[in-house]
Amino acid sequence: KIQVQNHLNRLNKPPVKTIQSPDGDIIDCVHISHQPAFDHPFLKDHKVQMRPSYHPEGLFDENKVSDTDTEKPKQRSNSITQLWHINGKCPQGTIPIRRTKEEDVLRASSVKRYGKKKHRAIPQPRSADPDLTNESGHQHAIAYVEGDKYYGAKATINVWEPKIQQPNEFSLSQLWILGGSFGEDLNSIEAGWQVSPDLYGDNNTRLFTYWTSDAYQATGCYNLLCSGFIQINSEIAMGASISPVSAYRNSQYDISILVWKDPKEGHWWMQFGNDYVLGYWPSFLFSYLADSASMIEWGGEVVNSEPDGHHTSTQMGSGRFPEEGFGKSSYFRNIQVVDDSNNLKAPKGLGTFTEQSKLL
């Protein structure tokens, strides 16, 4: 109990203002210089960079698709937001942080593991033995590129609220920026949306990020649940619910996520939609990613906790197969990578991978 309380005191910084979200979340507006990132010994004297030195070129050239293409999702970037906004916003100079409650920490296997991924579950497209990749119960359907140096990635991701069978399972759609081999020293930056009852205590679809520099062993965490990511944005809260979400044969909503390496400072920045630069992961957190990424992945992941070849009914995306098309099947669109000249480009030599194609 004392351990949990100490951890909560570390995570929940004194707020300037508090906003109650309709979904039961408490959003604390915390002064930008008091956020969890600054608990990191290397960040004691860090001067917050309030904007990236450079944005990737070609950022707003959305793929030119003719207007006669009826399948094209309508741009609804304005209407997607976060649920807590209904009850207020954070003042300038603060950042919104989802408050961690005692029950959140108690759901984790230990105080130390709270906010961290349980397994080193990362899709390994080239792994020789597909059975091994299934052992952790994590299953993926991804597109990927490798064989070059990558300085960022972008995607527009259709947002759904997949059904989760058991509280210890989750479902997500995200992009991965990976450096190094798939060994003990893997570097990863991840961002997207997830439904994770274990982490959040409900089945809402939430914006999330993750990072690690040692293949999920000791470093890194979700959102702002450890020191690392430095947030500068006062409007978007990591881990908060996204609203509205898509419905089958009904309105479709999507979010755009861009993560790129600032060529001047070397930090990895994240942008949500066209308007929200959220913040950055300082380059010193990483070994391989301090230089560049060697692989980019886009796709979905679910946890299947059923033993002996049985499969969970937890859905990935909308839970529908791709051939059902727009409005029924979940999509990624406008996927791009950032090259060494800081240009956004369509990925070359895209591969795809899934452990169990019949199911996903």
Query: Residues with catalytic annotation?
Result: 190, 301
Which residues have C-beta within 8 Å of that of residue 317, sequence separation ≥ 6? 158, 160, 162, 171, 173, 300, 329, 330
Q: 3-state DSSP call for residue 337?
A: strand
* Residues 217/220/223/226 CA torsion (nearest 10 deg): 110
Rg (CA), the chain: 19
Round to whole Å and give the CA distance between 86 and 4.
Answer: 31
Phi-psi region of 323 (alpha: psi -120 to 50; beta: other; left: phi over 0): alpha
- Give the 3-state secondary structure percentages of the chain, helix then strand then coil, rounded to 5: 15, 30, 55
Round to whole Å and give the CA distance between 223 and 230.
Answer: 10
